[in-house]
Amino acid sequence: FDARDPNPHVRPVPGYGEKIPVWLLGSSLYSAQLAAQLGLPFAFASHFAPDMLFQALHLYRSNFKPSARLEKPYAMVCINIIAADSNRDAEFLFTSMQQAFVKLRRGETGQLPPPIQNMDQFWSPSEQYGVQQALSMSLVGDKAKVRHGLQSILRETDADEIMVNGQIFDHQ
């Protein structure tokens, strides 16, 4: 995406001629391997596919080849954060995202649903298991709980950056 790019047919707009950082965002071991081979920064999509996070980071870092873009590995971990004044309020707000993931698995489309009081009335046990697994890299709680969770994730992953996704219905 810069002036030296051999493919003149692909241009970022706006930003042509700027040094726009190119990342590889992935959720698999293959994406980690590809980012390492290309010498690109790597962002792991653990906000919806956390299963291979630690293996992918290890594979990326151990196989990284320096490039014109990057001298050493640089990794970002993507997580969900729903924070509120209380843990209970945050858990209530989180039900919107949980419902959205259930609906995605059911093949239903639409906007982010409003939060509900009881997810057990909404999802089946198998849906609950799948959604909880997919959203396991989510920090849901008050300021202290979220801060502690962030510190733990940084310590466990040694991430250079954290990308935060926070889908909150009517976040006034």
Q: What is the pLDDT along the chain (172 residues), one digit of tens a residue?
A: 555 666 667 777 777 777 788 899 999 999 999 999 999 999 999 999 999 999 999 999 999 999 999 999 999 999 999 999 999 999 999 999 999 999 999 999 999 999 999 999 999 999 999 999 999 999 999 999 999 999 999 999 999 999 999 999 986 6
Compute CA 140 distance to the chain's CA centroid, rounded to the nearest angstrom: 15
What is the tally of structural domains in the chain?
2
Q: Please name the residue that has the structure tokens 């697994």.
A: 133
Compute CA 162 distance to the chain's CA centroid, rounded to the nearest angstrom: 8
pTM for the predicted model, two decimal places: 0.86
Q: Is residue 137 part of a domain?
A: yes
> Which tokens hold the place of 5?
């790019």
> Which tokens hold the place of 111?
């906007």
Measure the CA–CA gap between 45 and 27, rounded to whole angstroms. Answer: 5
Measure the CA–CA gap between 149 and 137, rounded to whole angstroms. Answer: 10
Q: Is residue 6 part of a domain?
A: no
Q: Note the pLDDT of residue 172.
A: 65
Q: Give yes or no: residues 68 and 87 share one domain.
A: no
Amino acid at 128: Q
Q: Work out whether strand 138-141 and strand 161-165 pair parallel, antiparallel, or are unpaired.
A: unpaired
Neighbours of 125 (CB within 10 A): 8
**Do 97 and 78 form a contact (C-beta atoms < 8 A)?**
no
Q: Is residue 17 part of a domain?
A: no
**Do 80 and 47 form a contact (C-beta atoms < 8 A)?**
yes
99: burial class by Cβ within 10 Å (0-12, 13-18, 19+)?
buried
Q: Note the pLDDT of residue 171.
A: 64
| Long-range interactions of 19-26: CB distance < 8 A, separation 24+ | 21/69, 22/69, 23/76, 25/78, 26/56
HSE, CB side, 13 Å, CA atoms: give it for residue 104: 13
HSE, CB side, 13 Å, CA atoms: give it for residue 35: 28
Q: Is residue 2 part of a domain?
A: no
Q: Give yes or no: residues 132 and 152 share one domain.
A: no
Q: Note the pLDDT of residue 8.
A: 66
Q: Give yes or no: residues 88 and 137 share one domain.
A: yes
Q: Is residue 1 part of a domain?
A: no
Q: 137 is in which domain, residue-wise? A: 81-144
